[in-house]
Amino acid sequence: MNSFTIDLKKTSGSPLYEQLYRYISGEIRSGNLKKNEKLPSKKALASHLNISQNTVETAYFMLMQEGYIYSKPRSGYYVCDISDLVPLPKVTVPAVSARPEEKYRYDFRTNAVDISSFPFKTWAKLNREVVYQSPELLFAGDVRGDRCLRESLTKYLREFRGVRCSPDQIVIGAGIEYLLTLVCGLVGPGISVAVENPGYGRAVSVITNSGREVKYIPLDSDGMRPDLLRESGAGLAYITPSHQFPTGIIMPIRRRAELLSWAAESDGRYIIEDDYNSEFNFAGKPVPAVQGIEGGGRVIYMSTFSRTLAPSIRIAYMVLPEELMKRFFEKFGRYSSTVSRFEQHTLCRFIDGGHLSRHLNRVKHIYRRRRDRLASTLLSLPCSPKLRISGESAGLHLIVEGPESLIKKALDNAMRENIRVFRLSDYYFEGKGREALILGYASMPEEDFKPAVELLFSSCN
């Protein structure tokens, strides 16, 4: 073959060399250009197509790089033998069905925050400062997260949660799920993980996906039962002592000590304290963390900014006991941190500048008012004496229990009226659980409480 006839489009979006490359590689793949066939010289082709020799050179170079053609010194370019290659399958772009965003008339979701109170201006300003002032943050940082944020968190944790740690023990990561995955990688194989029943389904997903067996431990009125934990043979216990999810139980000091005692009984046992929502305690100061009672040898403390800032800001952190910190470096020392350094430093300035505590005070006030408003709306129902509200001293949702028929009707009403509520029974992993409504109030406008509650309990009298 001495030349090609190609319709090169100078005004097309793709450069000429690329059009040429595509044409020739297509001809080779389709068999129109046979193996060992000689291609036109660069000079001849350039002149034939009225394009620069550089363009041809680039296309030929790409074809060589990819193994479509080869060159013989002082002779020219030839087609490679690709005839015996597997026939390449036809391309089909699959349509994986995405779950559509559902819209509710009223939404008692539990995983949301009050959008309007987010300090957009401060956040954007701090972020801009960080981007402008700290170009060196473009380089990879410490696998645990940057020291600046770990120091801010150490102070914050000491002051607000009674957690005692050094910045060296903190690992920052993009969400509790990610951190829990790391933790599952830090303990020996075959160690199973105890989880509260009812409890947090995502934690169960993570633990199971990490290849570990989950043991479901029933609760009594103080939280996870230590006797059943001990019987289970688990080596890790994942608990939510500040505000048990979803029941809202605040674990008393005695139970905390009993669980610590379980951990101390045998080498390699740890409590994973997920301190979610602890900032939203509406009766005085939040209960201090288990980690602080014990000193940190047996407790892996975890928390997140999902609720204190927003679910979409993916910054969580954990405090590892010294022994596990060493293992962390061995196993994960080569990883990169999962949180953008720009966002880490924005958050660091946000905490150090006092914006976080101001923000927390502001939203705590809002959430307390919402909780009160929702509770009083429920208590003003004609059937309110039959209802029992719990979980109200902390967290961002209420539990509403009552006679089976009444709760069942409320769930039916929710379905019919397109109101999102959650049911306590859905949070049981095994056994028949109590039934109750879980009503999250963080993101619902207050004026919606009355109509939503009245629809739910329309048959309540």
Q: Pick out residues in 384-443 that bind a copy of itself (CB under 8 A).
A: 393, 443
Nearest distance from residue 377's CB to a copy of itself, in Å?
24
What is the Cα 410 distance to its own chain's centre? Answer: 31
Which of the ranges 71-79, 159-167, 371-379, 431-439 carries the binding residues for a copy of itself, by CB under 8 A?
159-167
Given candidates 310, 366, 381, 455, which one binds a copy of itself under the rule CB under 8 A? 310
**DSSP reduced 3-state for 41:** coil
Given candidates 104, 151, 218, 297, which one binds a copy of itself under the rule CB under 8 A? 297
Q: Which is nearer to a copy of itself, 169 or 413 (CB)?
A: 169
Nearest distance from residue 13's CB to a copy of itself, in Å?
8
**83 is an interface residue for a copy of itself by CB under 8 A:** no
**Among residue numbers 111 through 150, which ones bind a copy of itself (CB under 8 A)?**
111-113, 115-116, 118, 120, 123-124, 127-128, 131-132, 135-142, 147
Cis peptide before 218 (omega within 30 of 0): no
Which of the ranges 38-46, 93-101, 369-377, 449-457 carries the binding residues for a copy of itself, by CB under 8 A?
93-101
Given candidates 10, 72, 103, 285, which one binds a copy of itself under the rule CB under 8 A? 285
With CA atoms as reference, report the closest residue to 273 among 305, 307, 244.
244
Nearest distance from residue 181's CB to a copy of itself, in Å?
7
Nearest distance from residue 194's CB to a copy of itself, in Å?
18
Q: DSSP code of 235?
A: S
Q: Which is nearer to a copy of itself, 65 or 75 (CB)?
A: 65
How many positions of this chain bind a copy of itself (CB under 8 A)?
114
Given candidates 145, 148, 294, 397, which one binds a copy of itself under the rule CB under 8 A? 294
Where b means 16+ CB within 10 Å and e means fewer, 111-144 reads: ebbbeeeebeebbeebbeebeeeeeebeeebebb
**DSSP reduced 3-state for 281:** strand
Q: What is the DSSP string of 135-176?
A: GGGGS---TT--HHHHHHHHHHHHHHH-----GGGEEEESSH
Which of the ranges 44-52, 64-72, 229-237, 269-277 carries the binding residues for a copy of itself, by CB under 8 A?
64-72
H helical segments located in 238-354: 253-264, 290-294, 322-332, 341-352
Which x/- pattern, by CB under 8 A, does the window 16-35 give for a copy of itself? Answer: -xx--x---x----------
Q: Going by C-beta distance under 8 Å and a sequence separation of 6 or more, which residues neighbour residue 297?
A: 321, 322, 323
Q: Which is nearer to a copy of itself, 164 or 215 (CB)?
A: 164
Question: Is the distance from CB of 371 to CB of 393 less than 8 angstroms?
Answer: no
**275 is an interface residue for a copy of itself by CB under 8 A:** no
Q: Which is nearer to a copy of itself, 226 or 402 (CB)?
A: 226
**102 is an interface residue for a copy of itself by CB under 8 A:** no
Which of the ranges 36-44, 168-176, 232-240, 366-374 carries the binding residues for a copy of itself, by CB under 8 A?
168-176
**181 is an interface residue for a copy of itself by CB under 8 A:** yes
**In 308-416, at which residue ranges do the beta strands (DSSP E only) sit?**
316-319, 388-390, 397-401
Cis peptide before 198 (omega within 30 of 0): yes
Which x/- pattern, by CB under 8 A, does the window 239-268 give for a copy of itself? Answer: -----------x-xxxx-xx-xx--x----
**58 is an interface residue for a copy of itself by CB under 8 A:** yes
Q: What does the chain come to in residues?
A: 461
- C-alpha count within 13 angstroms, C-beta hemisphere, residue 377: 22
Longest distance between any two alpha carbons in the chain, whole Å:
98
Burial label for 352, CB within 10 Å (0-12, 13-18, 19+), is middle
**Among residue numbers 344 through 363, which ones bind a copy of itself (CB under 8 A)?**
none
The CA-atom distances, in angstroms, between 223 and each of 112, 162, 193, 194, 251 are 24, 21, 16, 13, 6
